[in-house]
Structure 1
Amino acid sequence: MKHYLFVFFIIMTTNLFGQLDRIEPPFWWEGMKNSEVEVLCYGKNISDYSVVSESLKISEIKKTTNPNYLFVTVSTKGMKAGMYQLDFQKKGKTRFSQSYELKSRRENSAQRKGFDASDAIYLLMPDRFANGDPSIDSTTSTVEKVDRTINGGRHGGDIQGIINHLDYIHDLGFTAIWSTPLLEDNEPTYSYHTYAQSDYYKIDPRYGSNELYKELATEMHKRDMKLIMDYVTNHWGSKHWIIKDLPSKDWIHEWEEGDENGFQRSNYRMTTQYDPNASEIDAKGCMDGWFDTTMPDMNQANPLVLNYMIQNAIWWIEYADLDGFRVDTYSYNDKDAIAKWTKTIMQEYPDFNITGEVWMHTPAEIAYWQKDSKIGEMQGYNSGLPSVMDFTLHDALLVMFNEEQAWDTGLQRAYDNFSNDFLYPDINNILVFAGNHDTNRINEIYGNNFEKFKMVMTMIFTVRGIPQFYYGDEIGMMGDKNTKGDGDIRRDFPGGWLGDTNNAFTENGRTASQENYHAFVKKVLNWRKKTEVMHTGKLLHYIPMDDVYVYFRYNASERVMVVINNSEVEKILKLDRFYEGLEGAKNGFDIISENKIELSKELTIAPLGTMIIELSN
């Protein structure tokens, strides 16, 4: 596989002819595994020039149908950190020169350790979390201005707001943060979600700057926390500078039968990616259809497009010192291209981690996308993707605590989900979650019932995989997208804005109800953080009976028993059924109630009760 490396260009000489408006990526580093970089040069009629260099080997120059682009492939193999020069010539004479820099890498950069099952991830939406710098709420370079009265508008949260509250997140027991995208989204409305990005090398100025994003990672690393970037490969924003002046028509998927912009919405049928019976037109309708009108669907089958994305992703890892990616709409991409994107990144950083959003509803469909899947292997496909998201557990969690147990309802849904774990090549490297920025708030679903919240989160925090938690759930935040739109599930965190009367970031500022939620999350997560069996221990579970589900996490030296009673009456469990899980243990300590438990013959569990019992003899 041909690897491409990035060079960062810093303008050192005056461009007398005004020919160069952009060079991307803006800089690169010495000592990368990818020894060649495809440098995008953009300016009016730049393709009229030839490019030479006395200090770098230029192996290839590509032109497109748009004369405003040149793609210059430069070899950096063996080159040291320093300044280099590209000369732009006409008729054998240099008309202007462009300097660029190769930087020194951080020590052990290639060996960076990504997030794993020892972590707990706090997902937040930066625009709705905290406003740390009101002076950048609205900027001259971005169209949409701040207006907190609009549910789908800009509210002013930013990177400084995240930095200001890192201790709050860390104190809760979280070890990683996944922020929804922070790159510039210059759509005129509904830009706060930032999934329609307009510049892939620039933090949105309403969030801060590239330097501030790097500072966020630095501050997190001081606290032994990891930063996960939300990366979007499937689509860009309609206001992206490249979209507004395409190098060639085949950079995006345009539809002759679409509107004047070539738009045709995806049919969203991801099964067509592997369905042996799928028609070509249906498969094209999913993969090549646009996610939305403001999100042109990128053609990763075009090598220039794919290479741009590979280089950009590596650039952000190296520049900001990232610890992981969450990839939006992973399974909508050209599957061969996204596999190459993923594998190239993992070759550069073997211990990095990437989780893909594969929003499907059976374990087999999700497992297909995980690295080394036997299901994918049957079709000769291996995505190289280390981690996927357990959407089937999420589906179960949305309903099962509002149901009585039957053959396939109630707690049986959880049991059935885990019984399919054999399908996943790496069961510990999947994200487990109750909600995110696209789903109804879990507290809305369960009517702000604290006991049901405890059951949901106990399961998320104690089963196999990597727990991911949605900001605000720790204070019982509500939100219903079905009746009030997405803005309602993305509410402002109370206390994040000057003038907020309720400051849920502080114990004194939280209401009694908010404190109940917060204290539970803090207690269980800080226990989980130091309990290794919860990270890599095996799972042993028992068929739910009488609305009670019992499972164990265990390894050679530790055992934990989890009991969930999804009934409004007290239950008494006969413990002889669980001899395999108990393995002779006679005593335990319930970390929720902080009570010692005698495990002789029976165990009493309260109505809607939850227990996490550390076993001992």
Structure 2
Amino acid sequence: MKKQITVLFLLIATFTFAQIDKMEPPFWYEGMNKSEIQVLFYGKNIAENTVSISNDVVITNVTKTENPNYLFVTIDTKNVASQTLKFTFKNGKKTFSKDFEIKKRKENSALRKSFDASDVMYLLMPDRFANGNESNDSSPNLQEKANRSLPGGRHGGDIEGIINNLDYIQELGATAIWSTPMCEDNDKGYSYHTYGQSDVYQIDARYGSNEDYKRLAAEMHKRDMKLIKDYVTNHWGAEHWMFKDMPTYDWFHQFPGYAQSNYRMTTQYDPNASKRDAKYCMDGWFVPSMPDLNQSNPLVLNYLIQNAIWWIEYADLDGYRVDTYSYNDKDGIAKWTKAITDEYPYFNIVGEVWMHDQAQISYWQKNSPIARIQSYNSYLPSVMDFTLHDAFGNVFNEDNASWNDGMIKFYDNLANDFLYDNTNNLLIFLENHDTGRFNQIYKNDFKKYQLGMTILTTMRGIPQIYYGSEIGMAGDKGKGDADIRQDFPGGWKGDTNNAFTNSGRTASQKQYFDFSKKILNWRKNKEVIHTGKLTHYIPQNNVYVYFRHNDTESVMVIVNNDIKKHQINNSHFEENLKNFTSGKDVLSGQNYDLKQDILIEGKSSLILELK
């Protein structure tokens, strides 16, 4: 009996000793530019072991930290074909092993084409878009349960709901989907936005599985659509397993513990800024529930690089949108961005740089003429054009033009395009999930929606639309974020209004959708809009005229923001009209004789394809 107890004790001890709770990344791929991979092993006192690996693969480094539950093992996978490797851990006479797979890579994966100005990006929040699988509305392993009656609660939208409605998005004319984050967020409440992630290798079970996310990308690719993942480099959630048992004290920014960001992003390049102010911008936390990651720690930075590359390869992603890009350690985030674009030379990444000055936004774009002054390069291909968004947010209520009000705001915004390295790679938008709803600002004035969409879809850059605006959805940000993130009508069983179908839309929803569908689908094949030169004219009487043109085609856009009709004298635009004699309006189909003045009604626009 005593012998049996001793054997049982040894078995239990060996099992406990051998336990690995986490291995990240869970596998890797052959033929990667990043061939040196740092595999993180997490388990009770894992660092007490020596480690070796099979098949003559070289371990180039083993890093231990002050926390014995972590071991970082770097291996060189260069020229290692797809196979299953075996890590062996030994502590005295006790050994155990863990398989690590090198998977075969998709053909031409490195050369994948990303999103660009030929695309229209559809931004959605998965929890609020459509519930395709009611069985995963709550998860026994995650704290917050579904409660659709709570505006800021989990409502049950998921990956299956997106897949079920891809045909709707495709019919609308959008070619890419940017979904807000889908990795696990185990906060006790307000977790539906998923920006406080608790596991960045795992899709939140209330959205589905990793395989479901991979299937979403595959279903989109069947439709020639692109999937853009929302990536958060600046912070995780306080429920993240690595925050609960930190690998190193400086994995997160410590003050010690929490300190609030001052949100003053100008300190990142202000030559007069105090070091304290710069530190509290970069290192301060957004909120107490979002611990701030320290990208200047090489272990942290490498972890984030590997995770980002892993998701691209695993899910076959087409792009990244990076949250709060300019709050990161500026040198660290540049290395992160460069590592990804070195691996995928044509991969596009757009960063959120929420500033209200073109020079300050430009600073963060790759090869910025502004950042060059300080010998800085973020390597970030695309930035979000918040100054253009600012104009969209008030100009259509400015009926009486002045020196500073009315359509001159668009003109002045574009006059600063010389500050950017690549204006075709700016993300332009009327609104997003953090701003006021366009239709709320303009009290669902359909004419003003038409004006906004006309400019958005014919302007330089990559247009992004926000889910539901195409059917007239509104929402008051003054009532809280949940009001601008309402459920899409028809996405839940029992919804009396199903705006996903033509027959289910109200007359008002149909008016919005039909217009949006027409203009977005027209834009799809218009290379002159995607990459053509922009020439604009100083607005007169609140009427803004600009041309998109290349060697073979020209489009004339006329936007009358005045409440009165106006006569447009075409001789004013002779340098662009040249030998063109007529123009056909994309929206109405009406032909206009360019030898005569054009009469345009108040609060209306024309998109003329010149002949």
TM bucket normalised to smaller:
over 0.9
Secondary structure of 1:59's match?
A: strand
Which deviations, in whole Å up to 9, do the C-alpha atoms of 1:474-516 show, x marking residues without a partner?
Answer: 011011111x100000000000000000000011111111111
Secondary structure of 2:365's match?
A: coil
Secondary structure of 1:61's match?
A: strand
> Match for 1:479: what amino acid?
G
2:525 is aligned to 530
Residues 540-555 of structure 1 correspond to what in structure 2 (within 5 A)?
A: 540-555=535-550
1:486 is aligned to 481
Deviation of residue 350 (structure 1)? 0.3
Q: Judge conservation of contact 2:569–2:596 (CA < 8 Å) in 1.
A: yes
Q: Equivalent of 1:418, from 414, 417, 423?
A: 414
Deviation of residue 54 (structure 1)? 3.4
Q: Judge conservation of contact 2:18–2:95 (CA < 8 Å) in 1.
A: no
Quick one: distance in 1 between partners of 2:380 and 2:136? Answer: 37
> Match for 1:486: what amino acid?
D
Q: Equivalent of 1:443, from 423, 439, 442?
A: 439
2:7 is aligned to none
Deviation of residue 584 (structure 1)? 2.3
2:567 is aligned to 572
Deviation of residue 16 (structure 1)? 6.2
Which deviations, in whole Å up to 9, do the C-alpha atoms of 1:258-313 show, x marking residues without a partner?
Answer: xxxx1111000000000000000000110010011110000110000000000000
2:181 is aligned to 181
Say what the alpha-carbon RMSD is for the aligned residues. Answer: 0.9
Quick one: distance in 2 between partners of 1:497 and 1:99? Answer: 42
1:87 is aligned to 88
Q: Equivalent of 2:386, from 387, 391, 411?
A: 391
Which deviations, in whole Å up to 9, do the C-alpha atoms of 1:514-559 show, x marking residues without a partner?
Answer: 1111011100010000111010000000001101000000000010
> Match for 1:447: what amino acid?
K
> Match for 1:76: what amino acid?
T
1:129 is aligned to 129
> Match for 1:67: what amino acid?
P
Residues 365-514 of structure 1 correspond to what in structure 2 (within 5 A)?
A: 365-403=360-398, 404-482=400-478, 484-514=479-509
Deviation of residue 15 (structure 1)? 5.4
Q: Judge conservation of contact 2:430–2:452 (CA < 8 Å) in 1.
A: yes
Deviation of residue 585 (structure 1)? 1.2
Deviation of residue 19 (structure 1)? 2.9
**Which structure 2 segments of 5+ residues have no match?**
1-13
Quick one: distance in 2 between partners of 1:360 and 1:551? Answer: 26
Quick one: distance in 1 between partners of 2:561 and 2:78? Answer: 61
Quick one: distance in 2 between partners of 1:42 and 1:16? Answer: 13
* Match status 1:205 vs 2:200: no
Secondary structure of 2:548's match?
A: strand
1:352 is aligned to 347
Quick one: distance in 2 between partners of 1:274 and 1:212? Answer: 42
Residues 574-589 of structure 1 correspond to what in structure 2 (within 5 A)?
A: 574-589=569-584
Q: Judge conservation of contact 2:286–2:292 (CA < 8 Å) in 1.
A: yes
Deviation of residue 425 (structure 1)? 0.5
2:115 is aligned to 115
1:77 is aligned to 78
Which deviations, in whole Å up to 9, do the C-alpha atoms of 1:423-475 show, x marking residues without a partner?
Answer: 11011011000000001100000010000000011111000000000000001
Quick one: distance in 1 between partners of 2:578 and 2:416? Answer: 25
Q: TM-score, length-normalised on structure 1? A: 0.96
Q: Judge conservation of contact 2:17–2:44 (CA < 8 Å) in 1.
A: no
Secondary structure of 2:17's match?
A: coil
Number of paired residues?
Answer: 596
Deviation of residue 351 (structure 1)? 0.6
Quick one: distance in 1 between partners of 2:540 and 2:288? Answer: 49
Q: Judge conservation of contact 2:114–2:348 (CA < 8 Å) in 1.
A: yes
Identity of aligned residues (%): 62
Quick one: distance in 1 between partners of 2:15 and 2:585? Answer: 70
Q: Equivalent of 2:330, from 335, 352, 359?
A: 335
Deviation of residue 341 (structure 1)? 0.2
> Match for 1:225: what amino acid?
M
Residues 142-291 of structure 1 correspond to what in structure 2 (within 5 A)?
A: 142-256=142-256, 262-291=257-286
Quick one: distance in 1 between partners of 2:489 and 2:584? Answer: 35
Q: Judge conservation of contact 1:23–1:41 (CA < 8 Å) in 2.
A: yes
Q: Judge conservation of contact 1:15–1:97 (CA < 8 Å) in 2.
A: no
Q: Judge conservation of contact 1:472–1:493 (CA < 8 Å) in 2.
A: yes
Quick one: distance in 1 between partners of 2:62 and 2:401? Answer: 65
Secondary structure of 1:17's match?
A: helix
2:99 is aligned to 99
Deviation of residue 409 (structure 1)? 1.3
Quick one: distance in 2 between partners of 1:17 and 1:247? Answer: 19
Secondary structure of 1:374's match?
A: coil
Deviation of residue 601 (structure 1)? 2.3
Secondary structure of 1:242's match?
A: helix
2:596 is aligned to 601
Q: TM-score, length-normalised on structure 2? A: 0.97
Quick one: distance in 1 between partners of 2:53 and 2:225? Answer: 42
4+ residue runs of structure 1 moved beyond 4 angstroms? Answer: none
Deviation of residue 94 (structure 1)? 5.5
Which deviations, in whole Å up to 9, do the C-alpha atoms of 1:21-76 show, x marking residues without a partner?
Answer: 11000011010011200010000111100101232211110011111000000111
Deviation of residue 598 (structure 1)? 1.4
Quick one: distance in 2 between partners of 1:16 and 1:66? Answer: 18
**Which structure 1 segments of 5+ residues have no match?**
1-13, 257-261
Q: Judge conservation of contact 1:289–1:297 (CA < 8 Å) in 2.
A: yes
Quick one: distance in 1 between partners of 2:99 and 2:467? Answer: 44
Q: Judge conservation of contact 1:326–1:357 (CA < 8 Å) in 2.
A: yes
Quick one: distance in 1 between partners of 2:15 and 2:535? Answer: 67
Quick one: distance in 2 between partners of 1:81 and 1:586? Answer: 62
Q: Judge conservation of contact 2:18–2:96 (CA < 8 Å) in 1.
A: no
Quick one: distance in 1 between partners of 2:255 and 2:453? Answer: 44
Quick one: distance in 1 between partners of 2:333 and 2:71? Answer: 24
Quick one: distance in 2 between partners of 1:601 and 1:479? Answer: 43
